[in-house]
Chains A and B, each alone.
Chain A
């Protein structure tokens, strides 16, 4: 099974600077990772994903990097904006055999605070 770890409960970044959110995983057999963003009183919203055939995926201000040898991925937000203040979750399919039917395993999340 997969474990996904986000070791920083919170991160404070000045508006306009780069935000870097980190995520580690345990099982290198998994080849797909997702980032979700969650505002208070709302459900998580899909942000960006990456497959292990790539080491980088970019979508506008958001870029996800995957380091397979270190079992580590990171989400970069450049430039950071006040509306980016939210909780960010890293996620991966829960099992290889079950595929998506076993749901996603989420990290505990990182609360990103963008300061003006």
Chain B
């Protein structure tokens, strides 16, 4: 059973650029959630994908978008990067779409720095 893996682990981008972060979900899991964790804060929910469709979204602007693929891996895309987008981006996989995230397994995160 493989765990949740995220790539890259670290990334530096310039303000205004676009970035794509990737997540491979745990074997057998069909749901992926993305979170942003700013320094000194708890993770903040961005959105969730279930069976390739976005089925829940937090308070993030449309320049944050995502995809889920048939193998349930996922991408987080952020356009027009701003300095405040600098954060740790966490992916969590689970089974069951709208079910509680009781058994959500997190990846190690991608540290994004926007300069």
A108 to B40 alpha-carbon distance, docked (Å): 7
| A59-103 contact mask (Cβ, 8 Å, vs B): 1 or 0 | 000000000000000000000000000000101011000111111
B interface residues, tally (CB under 8 Å): 33
A interface residues, tally (CB under 8 Å): 29
Instruction: Identify whether the interface residues of A are mostly helix, strand, loop, or mixed.
Output: strand
Q: Is the CB of A103 within 8 A of B98?
A: no
Q: Is the CB of A102 within 8 A of B107?
A: no
B8 proximal to A (CB < 8 A): no
Using known A-B contacts A44-B90, A103-B56, determine if residue A89 contacts B42 with beta carbons closer than 8 Å. yes
Instruction: Spell out B's residues near A (CB within 8 Å).
Output: 4, 33, 35, 40-48, 50, 55-56, 58, 90, 92, 94, 96-109
Instruction: Spell out A's residues near B (CB within 8 Å).
Output: 4, 6, 9, 32, 34, 36, 41-46, 49, 89, 91, 93-94, 98-109
Q: Is the CB of B43 within 8 A of A100?
A: no
Q: Is the CB of A100 within 8 A of B108?
A: no
A43 to B32 alpha-carbon distance, docked (Å): 14
